[in-house]
A and B are shown apart, each in its own frame.
Chain A
């Protein structure tokens, strides 16, 4: 297996010691099949115990290791060193406060996720012993794509609107709301509407589509947001034209 020496330029910031973030360069002998995460783990294990980052599953499903590699938000466990022949610059995800080094503060995202009430509001209450709700494969396919979000935050990092307006609910949370709204078992759209269809919700999105470009799971939050806009517009006209239809 061939080994190639790569230079990793990593953003460092320890709020206890550093006035400002700064770059530190590490020279790492990388194997051909290494991911950026493998190279970072090498730094941690062999060169610098103070390097701080999150990681776990190494198979692009836990969503821990989102970071910016040469400016692009990616999962470090799914990004290969061999694709970067020059220097590799590694920074924390943009648009979030840095807690330390590559670890960002996620509080705002978690709050937004919670705010859209991402849980099933059932059409009919059913006892467990009465069996499952029926849902055809076609009904499942209708929302399946929007269930695939791993909460990795890459879409928030890429979103120009979130960069400008912190109150924007943002791609992943809106896509998740849309996921439940589309679920044939759910009737929670009205409950989610306050957050989803307000000014800091879907209408804040300027449809640049950067969220969908960087999504490692092909969730396509941009499509979710545009579909929600259409549904909300329908709601608006229903409300104006047929107010009696709405409870």
Chain B
């Protein structure tokens, strides 16, 4: 097996991975960086983020306000030391990317413009029209080309972390063009592989978001934290699940049910002012808005379509000029995919799985419990998002913690890692290759990859959706364990070494099943309702028992063991989450 010697291996070249790579390159140009991704960097799903990135910059705003919005938005499950670091670093990171050329939308005087966003008391979301993630990703990718020490390995699918005696020494990856396994021997590994929305059937997430990095770290001994918290975005197109940005509500869009009624006022989010009021109505947090949809649907007040029930997002009162300036992509997407021009008609929308708040357990330094292993971005849980992420915090998060992971990994790499036993690393790499080869060469088995994937999707939808309960979660957990068993019986049809997507999809499915099991088991164990995790059988938040992060630990044979660790609380004692007029 070809060995690639490097100092820092970064898995994932989306926003967090690219930011980490640049941070390493700037910290110490002599460090060799291998930036490994299963896709070309600009294909990474950061590209699909639309609305913006939060950071305090205006005179009417304060760090305290961003801190309080984030902690309350997360239903007090955020680690407050991490949030504090995050909100202070946010404007610096957003300014840095401005210095790198990001085409942020501007005010008439040339300063960066901000827009309101859900759950944020003050407008603090920087935006580049409604293509913020796209611009951020391309700016990072293009900027990364300046640094000679960043060597990219595009279209390499990472399979296993080389963890020996609790220390990470690298990662193995399949070069997709040749089908050959490579060992990246490194002093540190940073995982930046994004979320796992694809474990659900309806998601805004692209096909690549299969939780590979989460599963890889999980299997290598790093726990997955708070996996029960999955965000439904309240406004996506039916059928395709294409995201319609929260920015459209930030600009003044309203949500109405089949009677044209702004139903959010019935869910403690009113009053229904004709003007946008921050932290109220359509600018409430995503968990509350998605839950309100669920109730409206139960009451029969949604609109039925071929692709399930919808409500209407009405932007018409914004007028064509504003829609074209601030929300061009929303217009383009609505016209292309549902044949609706939002200048003249309301857009049909429904809640769709969007973001995994949980992820690889990291501390405030972006370090995992495995020495030499770091994680940042959606794949990590640091945790600034707690039980519900506020829109526009995640683009900022991948910059802040991507940079932090890069700097800390660079520091660790400079100090060396002591003696390593190459034979042990190579043996681990060989085992990883054998696992893939066995799957590749296997001639027996009667389970299909697409069939099992569909069953996994259905089990997650049935048991771990917007509202959950003991019996549905238990049923889903059992189904998922069976799927995990049946996975051993899959058979590949494609036997080519060249760009074998049958093989990659099989490996992705393995990752997704492990992540799905962690989500369902964590959700089953949390007998309370908090943020995005709503239990019909335990409708209240229970701070005495569950003001804790869950930690799922991998077992090769059994369901993951779930234990808990404390939430870091500094300034903000848990209180009631209040939105709408009463929150003023």
**Interface residue ranges, A against B (CB under 8 Å):** 1, 14-17, 33, 44-46, 48-50, 52-64, 78, 99-101, 103, 106, 110, 113-114, 117-120, 122, 126, 128-129, 131-137, 139-140, 143-144, 147-148, 150-151, 176, 180, 183, 185-186
Contacts and interface: CB of A to CB of B under 8 A. Distances in A.
B63 interface: no
B498 A56 contact: no
Contact of B333 (A55, A59, A110, A131): A59
B424 interface: no
A14 B154 CA distance: 20
Contacts of A139: 110
A61 B104 CA distance: 18
A144 B145 contact: no
Given A56-B45, A100-B498, A180 B206 contact: no
Interface stretch (B238-246, B288-296, B478-486, B533-541): B238-246
Contacts, number: 151
Given A59-B243, A62-B48, A128 B92 contact: yes
A100 B155 CA distance: 14
Given A57-B43, A57-B206, 4 more contacts: A15-B498, A61-B48, A119-B101, A120-B99
Interface of B: 39-40, 42-45, 47-48, 92, 95-96, 98-101, 103-112, 131, 134-135, 138, 142-143, 145-146, 154, 177, 206-208, 239-243, 306, 329, 332-333, 336-337, 449-450, 492-494, 496-502
Contacts of A56: 39, 43, 45, 206-208
A117 B241 CA distance: 36
Contacts of A62: 42-45, 47-48, 206
Contacts of A100: 496, 498-499
Contacts of B99: 120, 122, 126, 128, 132-133
A122 to B, nearest CB: 7
Contacts of B101: 119-120, 180, 183, 185-186
A229 B86 CA distance: 45
A53 B499 CA distance: 9
Contacts of B450: 44-46
A106 B40 contact: yes
Contact of B42 (A55, A63, A129, A143): A63
11 contacts: A44-B501, A52-B494, A56-B208, A60-B332, A60-B336, A62-B44, A101-B499, A110-B40, A118-B145, A126-B99, A151-B42
Contacts of A101: 499
Given A99-B177, A134-B110, A55 B498 contact: no
A36 to B, nearest CB: 13
Given A50-B502, A63-B43, A135 B142 contact: no
B106 A136 contact: yes
Given A119-B142, A129-B92, A137-B106, A58 B39 contact: no
A58 B242 contact: yes
A64 B42 CA distance: 9
A134 to B, nearest CB: 3
B207 A55 contact: yes
Given A129-B92, A137-B108, A186-B101, A58 B206 contact: yes
B302 to A, nearest CB: 19
Q: Which secondary structure dominates chain B's binding surface?
A: loop
B499 A49 contact: no
A119 B145 contact: yes
Contacts of B103: 140, 143-144, 147, 183
B321 to A, nearest CB: 13
Q: Which secondary structure dominates chain A's binding surface?
A: loop
Contact of B496 (A16, A114, A118): A16
Contacts of B306: 1, 33
A14 B495 CA distance: 11
7 nearest A-B residue pairs (beta carbon)? A134-B110, A120-B101, A45-B450, A56-B206, A49-B493, A57-B206, A50-B494
Contacts of A148: 131
B498 A132 contact: no
A45 B506 CA distance: 12
B243 A114 contact: no
B449 A49 contact: yes
Nearest to B152: A110
A52 B493 CA distance: 12
A183 B104 CA distance: 12
Contact of B499 (A48, A103, A183): A103
Nearest to B305: A1
B398 to A, nearest CB: 16
B39 A78 contact: no
A25 B263 CA distance: 49
A130 B319 CA distance: 37
Given A55-B207, A56-B206, A140 B42 contact: no
B95 A61 contact: no
Contacts of A185: 101
Contact of B43 (A33, A60, A64): A64
A49 B497 contact: no
Contact of A147 (B40, B135, B154): B135
A58 B240 contact: yes
B101 to A, nearest CB: 4
Contacts of B501: 44, 52-53
Interface centre among B100, B329, B501 (most CB of A within 10 A): B501
A45 B103 CA distance: 39
B496 A132 contact: no
B498 A59 contact: no
B98 A133 contact: yes
Given A1-B306, A78-B336, A99-B177, A61 B496 contact: no
Interface centre among A17, A49, A55, A139 (most CB of B within 10 A): A49
Contact of B498 (A16, A58, A133): A16
Nearest to A147: B103
Contacts of A140: 103, 105-106
